Amino acid sequence: RSGQDVTQEYTDLSSRLKNLESTERQLNTILEDADKTEDVMLVFNQLTQIREQIELIKGQMQYYEQSAALSAISIRLIAEETVKPIEIGGWKPEGVVRDAVQTLVDFLKGFFEFVVWLVIVFLPAAILIILSVGSILFVLWRFVRWLWRLFFKGK
């Protein structure tokens, strides 16, 4: 397991193991004193179940022991602030500086966003509009000039 304390589980397994081993000894004594075949078989079956549980618990305990042997503990220490910040009559200079820097960063961010929008969106759009309107005005001017020459200079 990773990052878990298994001390309680290990202690519980140890207690269960002691109880099961005690039960195993008592069943062995009963098995030695049993005369009838069916009594022997009944005690033998119970003894087999107890031994199986003992082996399972020993295996689990061995797993915990091996896992603990390979475990590593990481500790991260964080120093507490021992010096109080300067505070003059409720005025905190570091707060003012932090706010001023944040305002400057926000302004520069907004300014650069404006420049990007200007270059990518507004400038090309303005050029297209100026060229379109300029072309129309140029054609109108040439047409009016042609009409002027046709009607007024020709007479």
C-alpha to C-alpha distance for 71 and 64, rounded to whole angstroms = 10
Alpha-carbon separation of residue 114 from 49, 107, 120 (angstroms):
80, 10, 10
Given a cut of 80, whether residue 153 has pLDDT beyond it is no
pLDDT more than 90, % of the chain: 52
- Interval 15-32 mean pLDDT: 93
- Interval 28-52 mean pLDDT: 91
Among 1-5, 60-64, 131-135, top mean pLDDT goes to 131-135
Residue 43 CB partners (closer than 8 Å, separation 6+) = 27, 30, 31, 34
Minimum mean pLDDT range among 2-6, 8-12, 121-125: 2-6
C-alpha to C-alpha distance for 86 and 79, rounded to whole angstroms = 19
C-alpha to C-alpha distance for 1 and 46, rounded to whole angstroms = 32
Every domain of the chain and the residues it spans: 7-69
Q: Residue 3 in 3-state DSSP? A: coil
| Burial classification of residue 56, based on how many CB atoms lie within 10 Å of its CB (0-12 exposed, 13-18 middle, 19 or more buried) | middle
C-alpha to C-alpha distance for 37 and 15, rounded to whole angstroms = 33
| DSSP secondary structure letters along 68-131 | HHT--------PPP-SPPP-BTTB-HHHHHHHHHHHHHHHHHHHHHHHHHIIIIIHHHHHHHHH
pLDDT for position 150: 86
Q: What is the pLDDT of residues 93-128, one digit of tens each?
A: 778 888 999 999 999 999 999 999 999 989 999 999
Q: What is the pLDDT of residues 41-52, one digit of tens each?
A: 999 999 999 999
Q: What is the pLDDT of residues 58-70, one digit of tens each?
A: 999 998 888 777 7
- Interval 25-54 mean pLDDT: 92
